[in-house]
Amino acid sequence: MEKNIIPSRYAASELAKLGCDIAIARKRRRFTQMRLADGAGVNVATIRRLEKGEGGVSLGVLAMVLLTLGESGRLGNLLDVAKDDIGLVLGVNELPQRVRVKRQRQAEPKPPQDVGGQAPEAF
């Protein structure tokens, strides 16, 4: 089996901390790994991988684990815009509504034509 590689040591340490925190939360609730796996709809091996901090566990599994632990609101608040210090500094309110790729200008539009097929008269 191919091991998932996390490119950053910092990211790997963050995942390890998350895994450790999940294990502690599970133990505080007196859940076995089997009970947590059943609640999340996964197998015990996946829970072990999550608690080890392996990067290949999906966000869906993490969401179900948090729900099973009674912490369902945590995942949605990871990058809460009200607490995003960097985003606030960069000016969230000044961001465009849409980001589009600039296109080349098209040819000049043709003048509108009347239903009869002739151009309307100028005043």
Q: Which residue has the higher pLDDT, 23 or 79?
A: 23
pLDDT computed for residue 94 by the predictor: 79
For residue 72, what is the domain's CATH number?
Answer: 1.10.260.40
Q: In the predicted model, is pLDDT for residue 101 greater than 70?
A: yes
Distance CA 23, CA 27 (A): 6
Q: How many domains does the chain have?
A: 1
Q: Specify if 120 maps to a domain.
A: no
Alpha-carbon distance values, 52 to 10, 20, 21, 26, 75 (Å): 15, 7, 10, 13, 19
Which residue range forms the structural domain that includes residue 22? 9-77
Mean pLDDT for the stretch of residues 33-62: 96
pLDDT tens string 9-36: 999 999 999 999 999 999 999 999 999 9
Contact call for residues 75 and 62 (beta carbons, < 8 A): yes
In the block, which residue shows the tokens 């000044």?
Answer: 94
